[in-house]
Structure 1
Amino acid sequence: MSREQTQPNFILLNIGHAIHNADWNWQKVSSPFIRVHFVESGTARLIREDKTYDLKKNHLYLTPAYTTHGYRCEGHLSLYYLHIYEEQGHHSSLFDLLDVPVEMKADALTIQLIKRLARVHPERKLPHFDPWSYDNLPTLARNIARQHAAPLGYEMEAQGIIRQIISRFLVHATDKNLHIDKRILQSLHYIRTHLHKPISVDMLAENSFLTKDHFIRLFKKDMGCTPGKYINAQKLEKAQRIMMSRDIAIKDLAYSLGFENDAYFNRFFKKQTGENPGNYKKRVRLLAADNIPQ
């Protein structure tokens, strides 16, 4: 992976300390943000993709965004939790490009940094630990807006600490290229870095030197969905991210995502979400504004 392919920008969503007593049991959790857990004491299990990890004292555990997972706790557990949103811009996500370890031994500095982040951001502690109480777009919008409104020094410090923590896992990461056809990998990179332009399946197939039918079959085999569905999902996610973090006119948003006009974008957005973009933007911006610290 070349360094030009990704320039991660991390946003702190939540940080805090939790003590559980057989009450941290959830299934089929999948979120648009990264989770990091630091286990201080006790025992529990993390279940990911049919593999179970026994949580160990003084170890870190990382779960990338949109990774379906669960937790099982049958006794005492003391841990710190960290929720991170990765803004991608025109770059690919780190976790689209790399296979990152799930578990890492925490060094003394990392432990200090996690505790420091929790100490200076007490307002980021979760009021409830049920994932469905905070794992939703309005809450994500509020937390992103809160971080953008934070003093610059705190924001820079949070960015630095998060990078330090993520770097511990990246040292042992490997390229994901091994299991994906290089032509599909090239197409993925093109899609993620050209969401501001129109993207056609015909053009992707031509650039891959494949027929359209062959390209679609190969893409679906490697990615589990058609290229058209993948492109739509990427454009929709980026549209929602932009509306959560910026007060942008719908017309400008449509052009910034490669749509010919805002009417076409309105139809696309409503088909994907059941809600027109103007109403969605108004709703998430109001929810975010209500929770920006004064």
Structure 2
Amino acid sequence: MNQVAAQPKFILLNVGRAVHQADWNWRNISSPFIRLHFVESGTAQLIHDNATYDLKKNHLYLTPAYTNHGYKCEGPLTLYYIHIYEEADSQASLFELLDFPVELKADPLVVQLIRRLAAINPGRGLQQFDPWAYDNMSTLVKNIAIQKSMPTGYDMEVQGIIHQLLSRFLLHASDKKNNIDQRILQSLQYIRTNLHQPISLETLAATCFLTKDHFIRLFKQHIGCTPGKYIQEKKIEKAQRIMMTQDVTIKDLAYSLGFENNSYFNRFFRKMTGENPGSRKKKIRSIAGDGNA
């Protein structure tokens, strides 16, 4: 396995304990964040693309970002859930470089760490377990802002726990270059380093020496979504992260992300988040300033 060039930065979005009774049944989920599940008791199934895993007591399960997956539960089930956002920006995502196992037996320290993470984050549980209720851009950025507003010492402990949990999977990860097309990895790098300008599918396909249609099919096969959706989400994620840390005008923000005019950016932003960028900026700045949900 190759060494990761730079240590990744992770942000806690949600953590909590859930008790289900045949009501954890969802399909076709694909999110921009990582999911960890620790099973305390009961039975259910985790479906990753064409593979199905029977969930076992005292085991930990990993679902990387942008992985198409689902759940099937026909009886009682108690588990902890942890949602984690990886800040990759211009560097490669850990999950773009490596293949991780889905299932691992949890050692006693892992169990303690998960319970500690939940204990020091009592207000970070999900209000609803339906992914369509919480898996959206506004909720994602709100949770990122809350975590970024926390004291440094608290954030260090959260980071430490997340790194320890993911390190268990990293120990068993393998180099992904044999399983993901190198041309797609190249296109991801191009997207990450060119979010400041327009990115056309024609340009991406040309950098990979593929036809446009072939590139779109290959990208969706390996990443789990279309290149257009991936680019849109990355631009809007970056726009809202900039709103958290910089007091920039909406016009300057639009130009910094490669939009030709402010009006187009406003329409694009509203389509992705459900509100205009000016209103969203006020909310984000408020959350980032006081740390309240």
TM interval, short-chain normalised: 0.7 to 0.9
SS at match of 1:62: strand
Residue 36 of structure 1 deviates from its aligned partner by 0.4
Which residue is 1:3 aligned to? 4
SS at match of 2:154: helix
Please identify, of 69-78 and 145-154, the stretch whose mean Cα deviation from structure 2 is larger.
Answer: 69-78
Confirm whether residue 219 of structure 1 aligns to residue 215 of structure 2. yes
Which residue is 1:66 aligned to? 66
Return the letter of the residue paired with 2:4: R
Question: In structure 1, how many angstroms separate the alpha carbons of the residues matched to 2:247 and 2:151?
Answer: 20
Question: In structure 1, how many angstroms separate the alpha carbons of the residues matched to 2:149 and 2:71?
Answer: 33
After TM superposition, list the pairs within 5 Å mapping 1:84-233 onto structure 2. 84-197=84-197, 199=199, 210=209, 214-224=210-220, 231-233=231-233
The answer to whether the 8 A contact 1:92-1:193 is kept is no
SS at match of 1:125: coil
| TM value normalised by structure 2 | 0.82
Return the letter of the residue paired with 1:216: K
SS at match of 2:123: helix
Give unpaired runs (5+ residues) of structure 2: none
The answer to whether the 8 A contact 2:43-2:75 is kept is yes
Residue 240 of structure 1 deviates from its aligned partner by 3.8
Which residue is 1:292 aligned to? 291
Residue 108 of structure 1 deviates from its aligned partner by 1.7
The answer to whether the 8 A contact 2:19-2:78 is kept is yes
Residue 104 of structure 1 deviates from its aligned partner by 1.1
SS at match of 1:164: helix
Note closer, same or farther for the CA distance 1:138–1:197 as it changes in structure 2 (3 Å cut). Answer: closer
Return the letter of the residue paired with 1:3: V
Note closer, same or farther for the CA distance 1:160–1:203 as it changes in structure 2 (3 Å cut). Answer: same
Residue 258 of structure 1 deviates from its aligned partner by 4.1
The answer to whether the 8 A contact 1:92-1:189 is kept is yes
Which residue is 1:78 aligned to? 78
Residue 292 of structure 1 deviates from its aligned partner by 2.6
Percent pairwise identity: 63
Note closer, same or farther for the CA distance 1:166–1:222 as it changes in structure 2 (3 Å cut). Answer: same
Question: In structure 2, how many angstroms separate the alpha carbons of the residues matched to 1:201 and 1:74?
Answer: 43
Question: In structure 2, how many angstroms separate the alpha carbons of the residues matched to 1:203 and 1:290?
Answer: 39
Question: In structure 1, how many angstroms separate the alpha carbons of the residues matched to 2:197 and 2:234?
Answer: 12
The answer to whether the 8 A contact 1:24-1:71 is kept is yes
Please identify, of 83-92 and 24-33, the stretch whose mean Cα deviation from structure 2 is larger.
Answer: 24-33
The answer to whether the 8 A contact 2:90-2:189 is kept is no
| TM value normalised by structure 1 | 0.81
Confirm whether residue 252 of structure 1 aligns to residue 248 of structure 2. no
Residue 259 of structure 1 deviates from its aligned partner by 4.5
Question: In structure 2, how many angstroms separate the alpha carbons of the residues matched to 1:240 and 1:138?
Answer: 9
Note closer, same or farther for the CA distance 1:192–1:251 as it changes in structure 2 (3 Å cut). Answer: same
Return the letter of the residue paired with 2:163: R
The answer to whether the 8 A contact 2:259-2:265 is kept is yes
Cα displacement string for residues 169-207 of structure 1 (whole angstroms, at most 9, x for unaligned residues): 122222332244434432322222332355566765665
The answer to whether the 8 A contact 1:180-1:222 is kept is no
Aligned length: 288
Please give the root-mean-square deviation of Cα atoms over the aligned residues, in Å: 3.2
Note closer, same or farther for the CA distance 1:113–1:235 as it changes in structure 2 (3 Å cut). Answer: same
The answer to whether the 8 A contact 1:16-1:126 is kept is yes
Question: In structure 2, how many angstroms separate the alpha carbons of the residues matched to 1:103 and 1:111?
Answer: 15
Residue 153 of structure 1 deviates from its aligned partner by 0.9
Question: In structure 2, how many angstroms separate the alpha carbons of the residues matched to 1:156 and 1:132?
Answer: 30
SS at match of 1:122: coil
